[in-house]
């Protein structure tokens, strides 16, 4: 039997067939990836799924739709097209040509960034692996699988960079990316949020709204990188990421819409008995997913981020739209901080720090402003239903485990609490065992064409112009 043609099996625009050594390395990683997908990927047996596959970065190639058996999905390697004149936009190498190879002095830091980014992608697939069994519709099931295969492709994207530019160490890191597992006690995923469970679809929509959105912002800063292959990889990943944002945004929309409908029809806030999710539960889920996602931006002040920026490895969100010197060695920046209150205690406030060390805060603020857009949109749904209730984002210090507020407790309003007060009141603000059990009780599969679960409204539009009633997934 002829050996599989991996330049064909691994669609790519990096001329993989011209580099036999790299091709062989990826050939030997591919079976490990497929094993991981079969062992840790989606558990619901399916024949095929109506998926979008990227086979090229140009407009006509990057979104091909068709029914595909998931293990045969063509996970490819795509970098946005190269701009031969690209120069570094920030940091101490500003104005120099972008790097096509990794400079020796930044090897360890760049590898670390790729590994952290790469680690999140398979982690989310692991977190979501059992959701298919309780999908509220075939449309939602298809979206879940689309997100999953694309996270798989994003893992390929980071593995390609590790293999192509980091030699033996890179190949070892690529193996490790498949060995660590979400929630594992021996070898957990690197970042906190990726070891949390995604046990139900409300969690999934909150995750794709809040946690995938961290992905959008982190990829946006890596897209600015002086290391051109990373920049081009992230640019293409961001195109796919837009669909994940849509799944989260409209998913929460549809839950809120259904809850509002049931509240109005029955003239009550107590919608649980009518099979909808109470607004209080939605708010507690929101509080949880938002606060764990805030942690993903690292500390409010960080020498790591200052070094990444000065070296040219990681820029700011929309770096070229910033009206400053793009070097930042002079200025200062106000960050959220825990200050001495003058009476021997601590107060939540702001502190002035060198601009470079405040860059995690800068990115987190961009993210917070974006998240506020979602809340506004969900509140418009409540408003147009004629309801006075509103959702809100909790305070930046609420439920934080990383950064300036990791050592204190605060209410969603930003009031500092003693440990005892927090223990007493936290069930008002974070999902309780009862909330989770209730949400889980609603998670019954609706795998019939054109049907939808009672706790969520149908989507306004289908996928790729197809109706909601389309046969998006053929179950096994
Ligand atoms: N959990 O200097 P600090 C996505 C560590 S999501 C555990 O304050 P730094 C996706 C930190 O590593 C985007 N540990 O932070 C979404 C450091 O450890 P070392 C993923 C944490 O380094 C959905 C120490 O604490 N991409 O794509 O400035 C589905 C001190 O940290 C956490 C990236 O994150 C945490 N939450 O910033 C699928 C981009 N936070 O070095 C995919 C790459 C911090 O002392 N990563 N630590 O051992 C980075 O840019 C940075 O590593 C971080 C942290 C932003 C994560």
Q: Which two tokens stand for residue 171?
A: 């190949």
How many angstroms separate the CA atoms of 57 and 236, rounded?
7
Strands 332-340 and 346-354, bridge-based pairing:
antiparallel
Residue whose CA is at the smallest distance from ligand 1 atom 38: 121
Q: Record the tokens describing residue 357, joined without a space.
A: 């060390």
Instruction: Write the DSSP assignment of 21-54 as a string of letters.
Output: HHHHHHHHHHHHHHHHHHHHS--S-EEEEEEEE-
What is the distance, to the nearest Å, from the Cα of residue 389 to the centroid of all Cα atoms in its chain?
28
Pocket test for ligand 1, best of 298, 359, 362 (most atoms within 8 A of CB): 298
Q: Is the CB of 123 under 6 A from ligand 1?
A: no
pLDDT in tens, the chain (476 residues): 344 445 567 888 899 989 999 999 998 999 999 999 999 999 999 999 999 988 777 777 778 899 999 999 989 899 999 999 999 999 999 999 999 999 999 999 999 999 999 999 999 999 999 999 999 999 999 999 999 999 999 999 999 999 999 999 999 999 999 999 999 999 999 999 999 999 999 999 999 999 999 999 999 999 999 999 999 999 999 998 999 999 999 999 999 999 999 999 999 999 999 999 999 999 999 999 999 999 999 999 999 999 999 999 999 999 999 999 999 999 999 999 999 999 988 999 999 999 999 999 999 999 999 999 999 999 999 999 999 999 999 999 999 999 999 999 999 999 999 999 999 999 999 999 999 999 999 999 999 999 999 999 999 999 999 999 999 999 99
Task: List phi, psi (to 5°) of 149.
Answer: -65, -35
Contact status, residue 289 vs residue 252, Cβ threshold 8 Å: no
In 57-183, alpha helices (H):
107-127, 138-165, 167-179
CA separation for the pair 173, 380 (Å, rounded): 46
| pLDDT value at residue 8 | 63
How far, in Å, is the centroid of ligand 1 from the Cα of 417?
27
pLDDT digits (tens, 9 = 90+) for 198-231: 999 999 999 999 999 999 999 999 999 999 999 9
Identify whether the C-beta of residue 432 lies closer than 8 Å to the C-beta of residue 288: no
355-403 pLDDT tens trace: 999 999 999 999 999 999 999 999 999 999 999 999 999 999 999 999 9
At 419, give phi and psi (nearest 5°).
-60, -35
Per-residue pLDDT at 2: 41
Cα–Cα distance measured from residue 250 to residue 247, given in angstroms and rounded to the nearest whole number: 6
Q: How many whole angstroms from 190 Cα to the centroid of ligand 1?
A: 8
Dist CA 410 CA 397 (whole Å): 6
**Ligand 1 centroid – CA 116 distance (Å):** 7
How far, in Å, is the centroid of ligand 1 from the Cα of 293? 11
Closest C-alpha to ligand 1, atom 45: 304
According to the model, what pLDDT value does residue 10 have? 80
Our answer on whether the CB atom of 446 is closer than 6 Å to any ligand 1 atom is: no
* Residue reference for tokens 């936009």: 89
Residue from 160, 233, 231 nearest 6 by CA:
160
Q: Which two tokens stand for residue 100?
A: 């096509």
Place of tokens 């995604």: 198
pLDDT in tens, 7-26: 567 888 899 989 999 999 99
Whether residue 122 has its Cβ less than 6 Å from ligand 1: no
Q: Is the CB of 158 under 6 A from ligand 1?
A: no
Nearest CA to 46 among 447, 444, 442? 447
What is the layout of strands, in order, in the sheet containing 64-68?
64-68, 46-53, 473-475
Atom of ligand 1 nearest to the CA of 360: 28
Distance separating the N- and C-terminal Cα atoms of the chain: 29
């Amino acid at each position: 039997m002829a050996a599989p043609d991996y330049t064909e099996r691994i669609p790519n625009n990096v001329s993989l067939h011209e580099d036999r050594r790299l091709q062989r390395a990826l050939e030997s990683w591919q079976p490990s990836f497929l094993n991981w997908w079969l062992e840790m990927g989606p558990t619901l047996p399916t024949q095929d799924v109506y998926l979008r596959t990227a086979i090229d970065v140009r407009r006509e190639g990057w979104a091909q739709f068709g029914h595909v058996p998931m293990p045969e999905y063509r996970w490819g390697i795509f970098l946005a097209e190269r701009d031969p004149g690209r120069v570094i936009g920030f940091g101490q190498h500003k104005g120099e040509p972008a790097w096509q190879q990794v400079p020796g002095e930044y090897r360890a830091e760049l590898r670390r960034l790729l590994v952290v980014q790469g680690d999140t992608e398979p982690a989310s697939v692991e977190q979501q692996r059992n959701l298919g069994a309780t999908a509220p519709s075939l449309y939602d099931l298809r979206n879940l699988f689309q997100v999953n295969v694309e996270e798989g492709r994003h893992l390929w994207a980071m593995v390609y960079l590790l293999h192509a530019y980091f030699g033996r160490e890179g190949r070892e890191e690529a193996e490790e990316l498949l060995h660590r597992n979400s929630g594992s006690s021996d070898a957990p995923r690197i970042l906190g949020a990726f070891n949390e469970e995604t046990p139900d679809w409300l969690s999934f929509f909150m995750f794709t709204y809040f946690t995938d959105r961290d992905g959008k912002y982190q990829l946006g800063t890596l897209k600015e990188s002086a290391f051109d292959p990373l920049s081009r990889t992230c640019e293409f990943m961001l195109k796919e990421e837009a669909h994940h944002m849509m799944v989260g945004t409209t998913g929460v929309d549809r839950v809120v819409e259904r809850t509002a409908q049931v509240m109005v029809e029955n003239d009550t806030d107590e919608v649980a008995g009518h099979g909808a999710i109470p607004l209080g539960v939605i708010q507690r889920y929101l509080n949880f997913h938002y606060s764990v996602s805030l942690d993903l931006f690292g500390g409010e002040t960080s020498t790591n981020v200052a070094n990444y920026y000065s070296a040219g490895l990681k820029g700011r969100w929309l770096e070229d739209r910033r009206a400053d010197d793009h070097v930042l060695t002079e200025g200062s920046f106000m960050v959220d901080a825990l200050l001495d209150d003058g009476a021997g205690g601590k107060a939540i406030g702001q502190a002035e720090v060198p601009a470079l060390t405040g860059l995690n805060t800068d990115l987190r603020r961009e993210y917070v402003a974006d998240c506020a857009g979602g809340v506004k949109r969900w509140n418009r749904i409540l408003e147009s239903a004629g309801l006075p209730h509103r959702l809100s984002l909790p305070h930046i210090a609420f439920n934080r485990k990383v950064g300036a507020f990791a050592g204190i407790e605060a209410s969603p309003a930003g009031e500092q609490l003693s440990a005892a007060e927090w223990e007493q009141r936290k069930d008002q603000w974070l999902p309780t065992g009862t909330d989770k059990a209730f949400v889980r009780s609603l998670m019954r599969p609706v795998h019939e064409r054109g049907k939808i679960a009672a706790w969520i409204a149908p989507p306004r539009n289908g996928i790729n112009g197809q109706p909601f009633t389309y046969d998006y997934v053929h179950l096994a």
